[in-house]
């Protein structure tokens, strides 16, 4: 079965900095034969040259950007492909470092499933899952952003000489964390591994006779394929718009829901301009139709360049994309040096759109684990708080509720180069109509 014939899943790897995400994934890819030992040896030599010993040799498989090597951390999202007997995976290595959570959010919104890497090393998991720790933050984000399938890998088992006690202690902490953010324990496998030594990644470990469960790789085949939202109304957020001489206006975007066909009548929101799809192509191959998940370029008849731009959403005239002047959302404050008050205006990132948006009201503070209301009309919100708020983008924004279109119902709020909050849209309180 060729890769393209197997069902495809996007998997994101998350966890606290230095808990060994990149090393574990790099080693796994080597064990799968996707990277040869020579490349790894070259990485090791390079690592020694930078005075880092050979400790980063596997990590550098994922961190292949020069700047990352010099700093020894993962900056951008690295994409790697690999196969299991059942699936074809795109592996998204999400940065653990706080400045890079924005990438993690754009990554998580595409992710079908996730691995959270924790550490069995004394003290490391405590830091990662403490308030402000990145493992806690990532677990919250994954849950809030609707990534429903999760595996926890307890790494660095070699540090404790593969002790079952060390695993049990870390597992207990992991269970507390994933339960607190709202995952059901019975649906989340927790697996002992050593990313550095390679135990239990692809092959069963000789060093952990007490472990009777699966290897990390085997667990991947227990993921379920999410249903493709092809039965839903058409929604295509626009990534770019090109003007091609002799062809006309050619927007590019990913079909998030529904099906697009050549000859179909469409509407662009918020401009309200209507037209027709003349032709559709993907990777320079013309196609009659495209469905949810396809990245396409398409030629539009009757739409002028001024009526369509990045961040707009295409739909059909009988079910046009919603455009909000104001909406209610549930947000979680990820990072803020002090506290935020109503009137705060960060930049909102939703699908392909970026727009300044004012949080006009804090309706209530809620318990992130249960969703129960904890306080009405709070005066301010600080890192770690979860709340229901009302937000007004400075210009009308095409978005949907998370319930109807999760693909277009998630967003991040950014300010001063950091992600301040992530959230989901509950309902649109004031619609913009054309």
Q: What is the DSSP string of 83-106?
A: E-SS-EEEEEE---SGGGHHHHHH
Strand partners of residue 268: 273, 314
Q: Mind listing the pLDDT tens digit of every residue in the chain (434 residues)?
A: 344 578 888 888 888 767 777 778 878 887 887 765 666 566 556 656 665 555 555 554 454 544 544 544 443 434 577 889 999 887 776 554 444 455 545 544 567 899 999 989 888 878 777 766 777 777 877 877 778 899 999 999 999 999 999 999 999 999 998 988 889 999 999 999 998 888 999 999 999 999 999 999 999 999 998 888 899 999 999 988 988 887 788 899 889 999 999 999 999 999 999 999 999 988 778 899 999 888 889 999 999 889 999 999 999 999 999 999 999 999 988 778 899 999 999 999 888 899 999 999 999 998 766 678 899 999 999 988 889 999 999 999 999 999 899 889 988 898 887 778 888 899 999 999 87
Q: Hey, what domains does the chain have and what are their CATH numbers?
A: 3-220 (3.40.50.300), 236-315 (2.40.30.10), 323-431 (2.40.30.10)
Whether the model clears a pTM of 0.75, i.e. scores above it, the answer is: no
Q: How many CB atoms lie within 10 A of CB 378?
A: 18
Q: How far, in Å, are 196, 281, 365 from residue 333 at the CA level?
A: 34, 40, 11
Sign of the dihedral defined by the CA atoms of residues 402, 429, 390, 267, in that order: positive
Which helix (H) or strand (E) segment holds residue 261: the answer is strand 259-261
Q: In whole angstroms, what is the distance from residue 381 CA to residue 340 CA?
A: 5
Q: In whole angstroms, what is the distance from residue 274 CA to residue 434 CA?
A: 11
8 Å CB contact between 422 and 145:
yes
Residue positions counted in the chain? 434
Q: In whole angstroms, what is the distance from residue 196 CA to residue 207 CA?
A: 14
């Amino acid at each position: 079965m060729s890769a393209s014939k197997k069902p495809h899943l996007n998997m994101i790897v998350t966890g606290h900095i230095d808990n060994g995400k990149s090393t574990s994934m790099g080693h796994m890819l080597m064990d799968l034969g996707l990277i040869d030992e020579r490349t790894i040896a070259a990485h090791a030599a390079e690592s020694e040259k930078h005075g880092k010993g050979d400790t980063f040799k596997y990590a550098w498989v994922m961190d292949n950007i020069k700047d990352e090597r010099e700093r020894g951390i993962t900056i951008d999202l690295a994409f790697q492909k690999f196969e299991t007997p059942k699936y074809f995976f795109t592996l998204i290595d999400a940065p653990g470092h706080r400045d890079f959570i924005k990438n993690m959010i754009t990554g998580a919104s595409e992710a079908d499933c996730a691995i959270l890497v924790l550490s069995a090393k004394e003290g490391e998991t405590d830091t990662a899952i403490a308030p402000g720790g990145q493992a806690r933050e990532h677990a919250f984000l994954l849950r809030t952003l609707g990534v429903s399938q999760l595996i926890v890998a307890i790494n660095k088992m070699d540090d404790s000489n593969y002790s079952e006690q060390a695993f049990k202690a870390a597992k207990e902490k992991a269970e507390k964390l994933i339960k607190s953010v709202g995952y059901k324990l019975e649906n989340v496998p927790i697996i002992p591994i050593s990313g550095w030594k390679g135990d239990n990644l692809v092959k069963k470990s000789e060093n952990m006779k007490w472990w009777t469960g699966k290897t990390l790789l085997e667990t991947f085949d227990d993921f379920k394929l999410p249903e493709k939202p092809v039965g839903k109304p058409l929604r295509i957020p626009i990534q770019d718009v090109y003007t091609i001489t002799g062809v006309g206006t050619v927007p590019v975007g990913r079909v998030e829901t529904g099906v697009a066909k050549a000859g179909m009548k469409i509407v662009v929101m918020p401009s309200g301009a209507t037209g027709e799809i003349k032709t559709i192509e993907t990777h320079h191959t013309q196609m009659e139709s495209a469905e949810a998940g396809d990245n396409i370029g398409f030629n539009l008849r009757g739409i002028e360049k001024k009526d369509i731009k990045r961040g707009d959403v295409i739909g059909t005239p009988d079910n046009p994309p919603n455009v909000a002047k104001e909406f209610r959302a549930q947000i979680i404050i990820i990072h803020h040096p002090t506290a935020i008050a109503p009137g705060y205006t960060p930049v909102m990132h939703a699908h392909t759109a970026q727009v300044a948006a004012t949080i006009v009201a804090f309706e209530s503070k809620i318990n992130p684990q249960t969703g129960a209301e904890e306080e009405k009309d709070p005066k301010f919100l600080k890192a770690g708080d979860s709340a229901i708020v009302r937000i007004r983008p400075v210009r009308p924004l095409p978005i949907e509720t998370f319930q109807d279109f999760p693909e277009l119902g998630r967003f991040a709020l950014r300010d001063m180069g950091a992600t301040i909050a992530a959230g989901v849209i509950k309902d649109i309180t004031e619609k913009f109509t054309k």
